[in-house]
Amino acid sequence: MAKQPNIVILGDYERALRRFSQWDRIEQNSNLIIHHEPLRDEALYEAVKDADVIAIVRDRSPFNEAMIARLPKLKLLMFTGKRNGTLDSAALLSRNIPIACTPGGPSKETTAELTWALILGASKQLVRQNNLVSTGGWRDELSVLPMLSGERLGVIGLGAIGSAVARVGKAFGMEIVTWSPNMTPERAAIENATSVSLDELLRTSKVVTMHLVAGPGTKGIISADQLALMRPDSLLVNTSRSALINMPDLCAALKKGCPGQAAIDVFDIEPLPSHDPLRSTPNLLATPHLGFIAEPVFKMFSQGITETLEAWLDQKPVPHPYQP
């Protein structure tokens, strides 16, 4: 009797994958292990050293060239979504190890929703107001809050998510300004926005929200000098990638009160270490990278994984091969 292949699933922090698809056939024909905890370095290696197939939820488990070289049994690696920033795909392809992915689902839409949840939650200080009620209190002198209507919303990056965020801001009666490295007045006008310099956007906006793709030209684009330009009553929001902002600089700037608040969903190290100073920064509203976390997204992730694994077990082409 042929030995069953070892299939390892990594990064199912939410324990969501089994909810949205059938795993019976895969379990019957393989040794299946699903990991729910974060794994890195040697702990990651120990989890996958005997794997024939590895499936990763998003980019939660980094696989560099050195790690891949230690996995002689590996025959297929897949990840959810279309992109993975912590995977050395060239190292896999050089060994002729196929790479598969899954449909991404409506992650842009849910990220736009979260962006506005953070803007409204921070602007209206909902956590503090809830704490007042839950501890027996009611309104106090800090419950009289400014409005967003009539204020300026600065959108850094006007792709699908940035455009959706801008349209909601317009519906709230905000003035929309935008900047990106390749922004033009014509492109801005499509979303009823005005193209301005980055410095002007930072100096004048009540809310600044980040929607750029992280890359060599945008890494650390918001650092100490840029943060110092922001209004003391402003809010900086990032639901894109942490690399866009120098996070130690942000922590220092928040302590100085410029910007007045930040609302952040993405961090340099995830999960955020328990001792990280950002966990105790009082004027920071932080969420645990919820931008793409939604039932429709995880349904597509789960079904994409099971479809791929079943195809591989049947020795058929994978349904969603990765396109470098």
Express each pLDDT in 172-195 by its tens digit: 999 999 999 999 999 999 999 999
Instruction: Judge if 6-106+294-313 and 107-286 fold alike in CATH terms.
Output: yes
Single-letter amino acid, residue 270: E
pLDDT of residue 224: 98
CB-CB contact of 99 with 321 (8 Å)? yes
Query: In 77-159, which ranges are continuous DSSP H helix?
Result: 89-94, 107-123, 126-134
pLDDT of residue 94: 95
Instruction: Calculate the CA dihedral of residues 234, 235, 236, 238 and round it to 10 degrees.
Output: -160
Of 254, 300, 310, 245, nearest to 278 by C-alpha is 254
Express each pLDDT in 60-79 by its tens digit: 899 999 999 999 999 999 99
Average pLDDT over the chain reads 96
Of 27, 20, 86, nearest to 304 by C-alpha is 20
The SS3 call for residue 262 is: strand
pLDDT of residue 2: 72
Average pLDDT estimate for 209-214: 95
Of 13, 16, 11, 10, nearest to 294 by C-alpha is 16
- Positions annotated as catalytic residues are 241, 270, 289
pLDDT of residue 60: 87
pLDDT of residue 324: 84
Least confident of 80-89, 111-120, 176-185, 307-316: 80-89
- Distance (Å, whole) CA 98 – CA 78: 8
- Distance (Å, whole) CA 204 – CA 234: 9
Least confident of 82-86, 192-196, 277-281: 82-86
Helix-helix angle 160-171:107-123, to 10 degrees: 40
pLDDT of residue 23: 97
- Distance (Å, whole) CA 146 – CA 82: 40
Least confident of 79-88, 155-164, 297-306: 79-88
CATH of 107-286, one of 3.40.50.720, 3.40.630.30, 3.30.565.60, 3.30.365.10: 3.40.50.720
* Domain edges within the chain: 6-106+294-313, 107-286
Express each pLDDT in 151-163 by its tens digit: 999 999 999 999 9
Name the CATH superfamily, with its identifier, for domain 6-106+294-313. Answer: NAD(P)-binding Rossmann-like Domain (3.40.50.720)
Express each pLDDT in 101-148 by its tens digit: 999 999 999 999 999 999 999 999 999 999 999 999 999 998 999 999
Express each pLDDT in 13-42 by its tens digit: 999 999 999 999 999 999 999 999 999 999
pTM of the entire predicted model: 0.92
Average pLDDT estimate for 211-229: 95
Of 199, 158, 148, nearest to 182 by C-alpha is 158
Express each pLDDT in 256-278 by its tens digit: 999 999 999 999 999 999 999 99
- Distance (Å, whole) CA 224 – CA 256: 11
Q: Is the pLDDT of residue 1 over 60?
A: no
pLDDT of residue 85: 85
Average pLDDT estimate for 226-247: 97
pLDDT of residue 83: 87
Residues of the chain above pLDDT 90, percent: 95
CB-CB contact of 237 with 212 (8 Å)? no
The secondary structure of residue 180, as a DSSP letter, is -
Give, rounded to a whole angstrom, the gap between the first and last alpha carbons of the chain: 37
Average pLDDT estimate for 238-246: 97
